[in-house]
Structure 1
Amino acid sequence: MSGHQHTHTDHTHSHPHGGPAHADDAHPDWAAFGELLELSADVHTPAVEQTAEWLRGLLGGPVRRALDIGSGPGGATCVFARAFADAEVVAVDGSPELLARARDRAARLGVADRVRTHLAELPEGLAEVGDAELIWSSKAVHHLGDQQGALDRLAAALRPGGVLAVAEGGLSLRALPRDIGIGRPGLLTRLDAMQEEAFAEMRAGLPDTKETVEDWPAMLAAAGLTGARSRSFLIDLPAPLDAPARRLLHADLTRLSDHLADRLDATDRATLDRLLDPDDEAGVERRPDVFWLSAQTVHAAVKPR
């Protein structure tokens, strides 16, 4: 995970650790992750709220229109709709099922009058979304072969004085002690390394993929934006973990176990099986020492007036 931080909110909007619901990693079936993505949105809402306040300070004026590129079920969409009370916020995604969840979420949170949805595949659909003062994208760009090209397109859609913010990287989730009393210590660190390998293979399989030094502030500057900066936002939920976050962790580890099945040795496979067993006292649904500690890094820059 490290630089890419494939966490529990990692889709072109934020989607789970464990990869797609079918074998083609470069073209995941994100609709199959709907419930998991909704859980993730709930757990990560406080960090996105902090992000929205930080971005407010970078903006040169009011926000009348905002775009959430790769929105998934609309977690960030709805946060921005509440944070910028005069803005129309558009959830842009390639999954009709997830956009339906975004509309339902907006209705539940009382912002449906200012939330719109737009069905578009990336990167081709970026030309259709129109312009905005704020453009947000969480872990969408790393699913596109030409990451710099995608940033160039997004920067072109900014109104003068507007801000482009991309959530990429951060710190991988830690949820268990180093030594959990079963298997070999350091399980999550080994899983991180396996995920980095899987991520590199996913990137290599993308259409028109280009090798890029993932210096996001430099990439934003190359897109013609100014004042590029980065800030990380912490999710710190101490043990004992509450039920929603525990459910998310269990679901995420389940997908991770499946996704990395061919990379796991017998000992780590057996450890994961016990961690995922709802009847095992050593499992994540029962053990008292489960926590959640991760950080999401956001990179942002401004379009000159």
Structure 2
Amino acid sequence: MAHDHQHGHHHHGDHQNRTDIDWADMAEHLEEQAELFAPLYRKAAAWVATQQPEPGLVVDVGSGPGVVSCLLADEFPGARVVAVDGSGPLLERARDRAERLGLADRFGTLEVELPSGLADLEYPADLLWAGRSLHHLGDQRAGLAAFAERLAPGGVVALVEGGLPARFLPRDIGIGRPGLQSRLDAAEEAWFGEMRAALPGSVGEAEDWAALLTGVGLRHATSRTFLLDLPAPVGEAARAYAVATFRRRRESFEDLLDAGDLATLDQLLDPDDKSSLHHRPDVFVLAAHTVHTGQARPVG
């Protein structure tokens, strides 16, 4: 399963080790990634709309800088959208984006810690979207139960969790040992495990999302995976995203990789090296995100 700690959505927490994430510092990267992934998110939102076509209130939990919140506002033009996050600076970006896009009259923000802060929502949600934010809560089952409690009758939860690890390069890139990305995936899994273990109240949980949705009282649990396929040669935005992703992996996984792989990463990140990500013609972006949905019981 892909976890990808570099997503456009999140929960702002207080873990204090090498897995610390400074969300405000990542704001630009979060925006760039979400904008690059916009085609994937639009397809996912359109699929969710087949289950909840005309929500009055859409809540984006762990919204980050609000890129997806605004996409949801586009997909559901009759809805009010509330972006919920623990980072004030990111929510300020979300408000600015909504203003620029002409959405401010039906766009709001709520700065709270999750999941308890969801109780501050003024109205129950017809659609609660959580894009790679649930796995930043120590007790995911309790977090999901809190999501379900804030649904209106017949309301839908849409979780973006899992999928496949993103790919940017061929297996053999002509420098270093072949299979670098597979080893980066293994390092990501180790990093993710440490991040989860360091969260307050961390509870181990099998990632059977359909069972978890059903377990908190939701019905019709179903899943679908959406693909982002940007083949080589990529444009400037996709290349910049690849560079930023590899840079953060180099910083985060330094003690999880051997000296040879670290040297290869340094070469890939060197803008003066013709074999780097800055210049290579074989860079691509291929990613798959899975959306899991469940519905609250209607009235009656």
Interval containing the TM-score (normalised by the shorter chain) = over 0.9
Alignment of 1:1-305 (within 5 A): 3-6=1-4, 8-9=6-7, 11-12=9-10, 24=17, 27-59=20-52, 62-129=54-121, 130-305=123-298
Compute the TM-score of the two structures, normalised by the length of structure 2: 0.95
Q: Distance in 2 between matches of 1:279 and 1:31?
A: 29
Deviations 1:97-134 (A, max 9, x none): 10011111112222122111110111221221241100
How far off its partner does 1:258 sit?
A: 0.6
Q: Distance in 1 between matches of 2:90 and 2:296?
A: 30
8 A Cα contact 2:8 2:34, kept in partner: no
Code of the residue aligned with 2:44 in structure 1: it is T
Q: How many residues align?
A: 296
Code of the residue aligned with 2:10 in structure 1: it is T
Q: Distance in 1 between matches of 2:266 and 2:19?
A: 27
Q: Which runs of 4+ in 1 moved over 2 A?
A: 22-28
8 A Cα contact 1:26 1:206, kept in partner: no
> SS at the partner of 2:26?
helix
8 A Cα contact 2:8 2:63, kept in partner: no
Q: Distance in 1 between matches of 2:6 and 2:234?
A: 15
> SS at the partner of 2:146?
helix
Deviations 1:224-261 (A, max 9, x none): 01000000010000001110111111111111101001
> SS at the partner of 1:244?
helix
Q: Distance in 1 between matches of 2:243 and 2:6?
A: 11
> SS at the partner of 2:82?
strand
Q: Distance in 2 between matches of 1:4 and 1:287?
A: 25
> SS at the partner of 1:106?
helix
Q: Distance in 2 between matches of 1:27 and 1:175?
A: 25
Inter-CA distance 171–195: structure 2 relative to 1 (3 Å threshold): same
8 A Cα contact 1:145 1:209, kept in partner: yes
Inter-CA distance 169–25: structure 2 relative to 1 (3 Å threshold): farther
How far off its partner does 1:96 sit?
A: 0.7
Indicate the percent of aligned positions where both proteins have the same amino acid. Answer: 49
> SS at the partner of 2:135?
helix
Code of the residue aligned with 2:4 in structure 1: it is H
For structure 1, the 5+ residue unaligned runs are none
How far off its partner does 1:26 sit?
A: 5.8
8 A Cα contact 1:8 1:248, kept in partner: no
Deviations 1:151-182 (A, max 9, x none): 11100111111110010000101110100000
Deviations 1:26-61 (A, max 9, x none): 6522001011011011101111111111011112x6
Compute the TM-score of the two structures, normalised by the length of structure 1: 0.93
Inter-CA distance 80–153: structure 2 relative to 1 (3 Å threshold): same
Q: Distance in 1 between matches of 2:174 and 2:183?
A: 16
> SS at the partner of 1:66?
strand
Q: Distance in 1 between matches of 2:8 and 2:19?
A: 13
Q: Distance in 2 between matches of 1:177 and 1:255?
A: 20
